[in-house]
């Protein structure tokens, strides 16, 4: 992602306006994909009547799920692996040879924003999805998720040296490899965040917060 689009916004495109346009299309695509998937999850939760369960039951299910996801992050970190949930794919880099830069940025952002269609480094995304399906957070979580991921990624595309290093067509270029080397830190933060969410839910169960 950063390794593919990064070079385009760090100088491969001659005009600043074009580089800004590519960045904006990526962010818009990511945000659109994130909002759509969270709306779908919210509707699935309604259709499956998960949101009709008693609040205490939903909180208990969510707490157990967040603990399981936190443990999954700990496991993945200890094995040097990605989150085992989700598809083991990334948006094909070959799109860069077959489509315009505008289409590439839009499709790459949308595909990544959908979350379920590409590999995840951490399990935090699945925690947000679980809360949405259970009705403990609304579909608007997709907006927060989209902004929380797309904006930092856009900043990385403009600033991180991975964008300048990623010059090959192969999926394992050195720039992307450097970013993925930060995976253990991301997984540790994700595990702590998920565990904290579980603690809050357990506290609400114990003290009967409505």
> For the chain, what's the residue count?
210
Q: Is 62 exposed, middle or buried (0-12, 13-18, 19+ CB in 10 A)?
A: buried
- 10 pLDDT above the threshold of 60: no
Q: Considering the entire predicted model, what is its pTM?
A: 0.81
pLDDT digits (tens, 9 = 90+) for 45-64: 999 999 999 999 999 999 99
Q: Predicted confidence band at 65 (pLDDT cuts at 50, 70, 90)?
A: very high
Q: Tell me how far apart the alpha carbons of residues 118 and 55 are, in angstroms, rounded to a whole number.
A: 32
H, E, C per residue of 83-106: CCCCCCCCCCCCHHHHCCHHHHHH
Q: Predicted confidence band at 144 (pLDDT cuts at 50, 70, 90)?
A: very high
Tokens describing residue 40: 């779908």
Which residues fall within 8 angstroms of residue 176, CB to CB, at 6 or more apart? 1, 2, 3, 4, 162, 166
Tokens describing residue 38: 């969270």
Q: Tell me how far apart the alpha carbons of residues 55 and 208 are, in angstroms, rounded to a whole number.
A: 10
Q: Tell me how far apart the alpha carbons of residues 115 and 58 are, in angstroms, rounded to a whole number.
A: 23
């Amino acid at each position: 992602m950063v390794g593919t689009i990064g070079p385009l916004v760090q100088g491969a495109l001659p005009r600043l306006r074009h580089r800004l346009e590519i960045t904006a299309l990526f962010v818009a695509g990511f945000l659109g994909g994130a909002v759509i998937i969270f709306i779908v999850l919210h509707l699935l939760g309604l259709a499956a009547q998960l949101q009709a369960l008693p609040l205490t039951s939903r909180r208990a299910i969510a707490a157990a799920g967040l603990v399981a996801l936190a443990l999954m992050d700990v496991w993945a970190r200890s094995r040097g692996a990605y989150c085992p949930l989700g598809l083991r794919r990334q948006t094909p880099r070959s799109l860069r040879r077959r489509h315009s830069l505008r289409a590439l940025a839009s499709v790459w952002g949308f595909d990544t924003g959908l979350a379920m269609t590409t590999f995840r480094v951490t399990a935090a995304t699945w925690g947000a999805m679980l809360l949405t399906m259970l009705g403990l957070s609304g579909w608007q979580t997709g907006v927060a998720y989209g902004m929380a991921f797309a904006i930092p990624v856009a900043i990385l595309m403009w600033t991180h040296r991975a964008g300048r290093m990623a010059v090959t067509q192969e999926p394992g270029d050195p720039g992307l490899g450097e970013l993925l080397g930060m995976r253990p830190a991301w997984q540790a933060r994700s595990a702590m965040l998920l565990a904290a969410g579980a603690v809050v839910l357990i506290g609400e169960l114990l003290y009967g917060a409505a």
